[in-house]
Structure 1
Amino acid sequence: MAKLAAEEGCNLDVSTAGEYHVARAANVPAERLVLHGNNKSTEELRRAMAEGVGRIIVDSFDELDRIEALVAEGLPIPRVLIRVTPGVEAHTHEFVRTGQDDSKFGFGLSTGLAEQAVVRAASSPAFELVGIHAHIGSQVFEARFFEMAIEVLAPFVERHGLAEFSVGGGLGVAYVNGEEAATITDWAAAVHRACAAAGIGARVTAEPGRSLVAQAAVTLYEVGTIKDIPGIRTYVSVDGGMSDNPRPILYGSGYEAFLAREVEAERARTITLVGKHCESGDLLIRDAQVPEDLVVGDILVTPVTGAYGYSLSSNYNKVTRPAVVFVADGEARLVLRRESLDDLLTLDLG
């Protein structure tokens, strides 16, 4: 994915040493990477700075200390953006809401910490301060929240004469029937209008992430068990579950399910789609609509799994991860093989 994104002309944001390493292994130039993270280690910063990372999004005063110490050791001066929390609470799940004052991310605007961080970075020879970054959360469906954040931050950007303003990402994606999300084009237009209205002269960047890839993928499950409890519920168990998609149990996320052999079939039967893990919370879709003729052995398709799917997966219960296949223009290419049982033992020293 890192290689594909880079080939399509995207820069990448990475938030851990692992994500950084994968991007570099995919031959993505360091200058096209933006290093995020609320707790970057000295070693993460050391490698990124040594290789000339494009931007570091500074998240804490401790991080400022670490960078200054590394520059004192002789590492190159990094280009940095200060992450600012604008105090805007987007209407989204609390676990992915990041723009409010009470957040583990960034420096608060209302508390004066953002001012302190920018002044310190601007006055220190250890930083090339290029701007600020803000991110109000994920799965935000209303452009007005982005407009509010821009309006709040504009005076700060202009007062400090900052050259770059990253509005972050978070544009929502529709996962189930009835959800409506702005297109990335409409969202970009709203951001552009808000920046123009606020008089922002800085270069504006964004991190569209999920809105680019979520709807580009589907997950296929094989039905293994259909358990009908008369008058209560019908459970349909598949060969995956919370190990390949924990979003339903983490965020209460909803999905749709379709029958692979007849995707346009009427879906009049209500079932609960569950995984094979040893706990009752292993739900994929609580009230899924499927065709009446669903049987054991059928393949069910859940769309919109291109973001925060495989990347959130685990080997819980020692379930192996599925393969990943790229499909384009009628051709399929295996890009991640299915894990084997022996793969589960690769780190075991016995």
Structure 2
Amino acid sequence: MSTTEKTQQLKSPIAPEWLTLPTEPNELNPVIWAEGVSRSEAGEITIAGLPVSELAQRFGTPAYIISEDHFRSRARAFRDAFNEAFAPLCGGVDVYYAGKSFLCTEVARWVAEEGLRLDTCSGGELALAARAGIDGVKLGLHGNNKSDNEINRALDMGIGRIVVDSLQELERVAEIARGRGLTAPILLRLTPGVHAETHEFIATAHEDQKFGLSMASVNGNPSAAEQAVDAALAHPSLELLGLHCHIGSQIFSPDGFALAAEKLLGFIASIRDRHGVSLKELDLGGGYGIAYTEVDHPQEPKHLAKAMAAVVGEACQRLGIDVPRISIEPGRAIVGSSTFTLYKVGTLKTIHVEHGTDVFERRYVSVDGGMSDNPRPVLYGADYSAALASRSSEAPLALSRVVGRHCESGDIVVKDTYLPSDVEPGDLLAVPATGAYCWVLGSNYNYTPRPPVVAVSRGEARLIVRGETEEDLFLRDVSC
């Protein structure tokens, strides 16, 4: 498409306001795509020099393509930035990679090799951590309904901390530890009442939701958080290390984290005044956002770290308390942008949409994956980007909706994007920023085998999770 044609093409009136008509549609936004992803001179998307056509031929489609180099770089960026910012205050930080965002045995090893700790929230994730050879002291266990078996497994592994989510769970952990003659190290997860600017289902520090112990006092009675502190300190089988909070996910501003930190530090000061106990640790959670589309502008780790250190340092000085050891959990912010999903185009159709008194076109581009490999659009209305991957194109752009192959009208991969109008069956499409909460939330809906995970580093690609076969789908079927 010539420069004149680009300037003459107008944005579709049925496109969302935030979606701009790209002037250079073959360019890849470096904020959205992983390091090392680019277009070759021939126009094909490559990662670490490997063309997507080669990856599709070797591993099939759909496939998750993860840049190991990008993952490791992001892990180091958070580790180094927060350590540098907090070193003068408390000697550094502990960075816990949130395993729920994406986890397999190989990735757990990367986490350990880059000096991070691992946050788990199930027996299965604990088992995977053990399989990866991670020392139990470098693990945390989350969850609002931990089973006795999970608590026992955590104690067997010598876990570094169990994040207690309720008064009932506190008593359960205390009883199990007492019965085994052990002392369980715990953090109390508190809900500080901070309302993060994010989707309702991933905002986790307001009062009306399932996580945590409320800091709010009702009718002058002690809050659940205060009751939990009293109970924890009264149990010889518990070691109360500190406090934890998590205000949500996909958050771009540090303001909410700062407000939560101030509230929890004030609570730590009140514990010192009431009990004469100085808590040693404070986990400020994670939820740092990444770029899925052009409107997302994530903060760099250095900016987040400096902002958080300034707030924590000032608050502790004002309250007259020692700065506790800080920990964070930047799962999505490490893995999310490291990965893209590679699809093959199947059928295409053009739909005519009434808008006011006019009718406009929207092109539906069907691919060989869908909600079974990325359920976030149907769960959260999440927006993604997409690019023609197997070649470049100068064709005029068409407002497009990338949809999956499943028997659901809500099976949408990318709700709104501009793609070249000459996209055709057999072309490869790439959807970036699918590293977090895609593979781990995947399913076998319509008896669809789940895709492989392919790690790419320094020009080499290897399977780290093989794709399922149809035979795998029947392994648990007792009628086979």
Output the TM-score relative to the length of structure 1: 0.97
Contact 1:50/1:76 (<8 A) preserved = no
Contact 1:267/1:289 (<8 A) preserved = no
**What letter corresponds to residue 247 of structure 2 in structure 1?**
I
**Distance in 2 separating the partners of 1:63 and 1:270:** 51
**What letter corresponds to residue 388 of structure 2 in structure 1?**
L
Classify 1:264/1:83 alpha carbon distance in 2 versus 1 (closer, same or farther; 3 Å). Answer: farther
Alignment pair present for 1:80 and 2:186: yes
Alignment pair present for 1:148 and 2:220: no
Structure possessing the higher radius of gyration over alpha carbons: 2
1:125-153 deviation digits (Å, cap 9, x = unpaired): 01011100010000111111111111222
Alignment pair present for 1:195 and 2:301: no
1:174-216 deviation digits (Å, cap 9, x = unpaired): 1101211111221111111110111161111111111011010
Contact 1:71/1:126 (<8 A) preserved = yes
Give me the CA root mean square deviation: 1.5
Once the two structures are overlaid, the 10-residue window that deviates more, 324-333 or 180-189, is 180-189
**Distance in 1 separating the partners of 2:255 and 2:174:** 38
SS of the aligned residue for 1:158 comes to: helix
**Distance in 1 separating the partners of 2:184 and 2:329:** 20
Match of 1:223 in 2: 345
Match of 2:20 in 1: none
Match of 1:110 in 2: 216
**Distance in 2 separating the partners of 1:88 and 1:17:** 30
Contact 2:205/2:246 (<8 A) preserved = yes
Deviation at 1:158, TM superposition (A): 2.4
**Distance in 2 separating the partners of 1:321 and 1:71:** 39
Contact 1:109/1:115 (<8 A) preserved = yes
Match of 1:124 in 2: 235
**What letter corresponds to residue 119 of structure 1 in structure 2?**
D
Deviation at 1:235, TM superposition (A): 1.0
Match of 1:57 in 2: 163
Match of 1:326 in 2: 455
SS of the aligned residue for 2:435 comes to: coil
Alignment pair present for 1:299 and 2:428: yes
The higher-RCO structure (CA 8 Å, 6+ apart) is: 2
Contact 1:327/1:333 (<8 A) preserved = yes
Output the TM-score relative to the length of structure 2: 0.71
Contact 2:285/2:328 (<8 A) preserved = yes
**What letter corresponds to residue 310 of structure 2 in structure 1?**
R
Alignment pair present for 1:245 and 2:394: no
Classify 1:103/1:229 alpha carbon distance in 2 versus 1 (closer, same or farther; 3 Å). Answer: closer
**Distance in 1 separating the partners of 2:260 and 2:284:** 8
**Distance in 1 separating the partners of 2:261 and 2:324:** 12
Structure 1 residue runs of 5 or longer lacking an equivalent are none
Alignment pair present for 1:163 and 2:280: yes
Contact 2:292/2:433 (<8 A) preserved = yes
**Distance in 1 separating the partners of 2:365 and 2:422:** 13
Contact 2:401/2:417 (<8 A) preserved = yes
**Distance in 2 separating the partners of 1:241 and 1:125:** 51
Percent identity between the two aligned chains = 45
Deviation at 1:293, TM superposition (A): 2.1
**Distance in 2 separating the partners of 1:264 and 1:107:** 54
Contact 2:188/2:244 (<8 A) preserved = yes
Once the two structures are overlaid, the 10-residue window that deviates more, 287-296 or 265-274, is 265-274
Work out which of the residue numbers 290, 298, 303 in structure 1 matches 2:419: 290
Structure 2 residue runs of 5 or longer lacking an equivalent are 1-106, 218-222, 272-277, 317-321, 353-359
Deviation at 1:61, TM superposition (A): 1.3
Classify 1:128/1:299 alpha carbon distance in 2 versus 1 (closer, same or farther; 3 Å). Answer: same
Deviation at 1:292, TM superposition (A): 2.5
SS of the aligned residue for 2:294 comes to: coil
**Distance in 2 separating the partners of 1:94 and 1:341:** 36
Contact 2:139/2:159 (<8 A) preserved = yes
Deviation at 1:264, TM superposition (A): 8.5
Classify 1:107/1:121 alpha carbon distance in 2 versus 1 (closer, same or farther; 3 Å). Answer: same
Deviation at 1:229, TM superposition (A): 2.6
Deviation at 1:337, TM superposition (A): 1.1
Alignment pair present for 1:184 and 2:301: yes
Deviation at 1:268, TM superposition (A): 2.3
1:38-89 deviation digits (Å, cap 9, x = unpaired): 0001110011112211110000112112112212321521111000100001
